[in-house]
Amino acid sequence: MGSGEFATYWRYRGLGGLDLMRARFVRRRFARHSHETYAIGALEAGLEEIRFADGVEHAGADDVVLIEPGVVHTGEPRTADGWAYRVLYPSVEQVREVADELGVPGGVPSFERRVAPDARVARRVTAAHHAAESGASLAADSQLRAVLALVLGAYGTRRPGRPARSAGRRSVARVRDLLHATMPDPPGLTELAATAGVTPFALLRSFRRAYGMPPHAYVTQLRVVKARELLRQGMPPAQAALAVGFCDQSHLSRHFRSLVGVPPRAYQRAVQ
């Protein structure tokens, strides 16, 4: 990493498993990506610029960042000093369980804001992070559950379930399903377009509109997600790289760091 940069990524075993990251980035620029989990972050220092499909947000010290699963975004330093933060990655099931306990009505747990200046909530996120890092399971379980309740109480809502997709969306969904099924060695763009019954250019446009990124970037994310699973199971990074369709370990490392923030070996050491 660049001068002064570090990133520590690990998995807390309580609550059914929850990933955490503590990092300071100076030169790091995250590629467009999304998470399969929620991302709840507390900025401790510096300024981060986060680009979403519909605009740009800036987060600084004592701000809370709230990103929902599947929301495509980037992350990069706003100033030369970079930024430092702690992030919790609770699963959809974990957040839904807390929302149910709170009696928040509706469907999928959602947030009214993506960046909120809230020193109180930021301190609680940091405290829960410290508790999980310390290994004190009872305190960590309690504080992590409490901070999810606090965030949902302050900024949570629920969006209704998605309506049935149109024929065009169903066609694009078939392409997505095919990418999941063939992830190590997916078809070319022409074959994917034929599956959707559209031209390659139309597929690129429709797929990006539906999922926030073009098919090749979507496959890269699928590969990194699967590589994380294999690394947690103990598979060596070089072997995991080939298993998910990357040409070699350096190829995996480049994309893994771009999307996760730490190299594959560092991630594996942290979660085992």
pLDDT band at 162 (very low <50, low <70, confident <90, very high): very low
Residue 1 in this model has a pLDDT that exceeds 90? no
Count CA atoms within 13 Å of residue 110 on its CB side.
Answer: 13
pLDDT digits (tens, 9 = 90+) for 23-50: 999 989 999 999 999 999 999 999 999 9
Of 126, 159, 192, the position where a domain reaches its end is 159
pTM: 0.77
User: How many other CB atoms sit within 10 Å of the CB of residue 164?
Assistant: 7
Of 91, 125, 159, the position where a domain reaches its end is 159
Residue 252 in this model has a pLDDT that exceeds 60? yes
The number of domains in the chain is 2
Residue 118 CA, distance from chain mean position: 22
Q: Identify whether 1 is part of a domain.
A: no
pLDDT band at 215 (very low <50, low <70, confident <90, very high): confident
Residues 6+ apart with CB under 8 A from 211: 70, 72, 172, 176, 218
Q: Are residues 22 and 153 in the same domain?
A: yes
Rounded CA separation 139/134 (Å) = 9
Residue 76 contacts residue 27 (beta carbons within 8 Å): no
What's the pLDDT at 165? Answer: 37
What's the pLDDT at 163? Answer: 43
Percentage of the chain lying above the pLDDT 70 cut: 92
Rounded CA separation 16/18 (Å) = 7
What's the pLDDT at 4? Answer: 84
What's the pLDDT at 104? Answer: 67
Q: Are residues 132 and 178 in the same domain?
A: no
What's the pLDDT at 140? Answer: 82
Residue 62 in this model has a pLDDT that exceeds 80? yes
Q: Identify whether 68 is part of a domain.
A: yes
Distance set, CA 24 to CA 5, 20, 58, 264 (Å): 5, 14, 16, 18
CATH of the domain at 237: 1.10.10.60
Q: Are residues 115 and 142 in the same domain?
A: yes
| H helices, E strands: number in the chain | 10, 11
Q: Are residues 47 and 145 in the same domain?
A: yes
**65-69, 118-122, 163-167: which has the minimum mean pLDDT?**
163-167
What's the pLDDT at 159? Answer: 61
What's the pLDDT at 166? Answer: 33
- The sign of the dihedral angle between the CA atoms of 164, 160, 121, 14 is negative
- Per-residue pLDDT, averaged over 1-29, amounts to 86
DSSP code of 91?
-
Distance set, CA 126 to CA 48, 61, 116 (Å): 17, 12, 15
Q: Are residues 258 and 123 in the same domain?
A: no
Q: Are residues 184 and 97 in the same domain?
A: no
Higher pLDDT, 192 or 164: 192
What's the pLDDT at 3? Answer: 65
What 3-state DSSP class applies to 47?
A: strand
CATH of the domain at 115: 2.60.120.10
pLDDT digits (tens, 9 = 90+) for 169-188: 788 999 999 999 999 989 88
- Give me the residue label for tokens 């930021």: 122
Q: Identify whether 240 is part of a domain.
A: yes
Structural domain including 94 reads 6-159
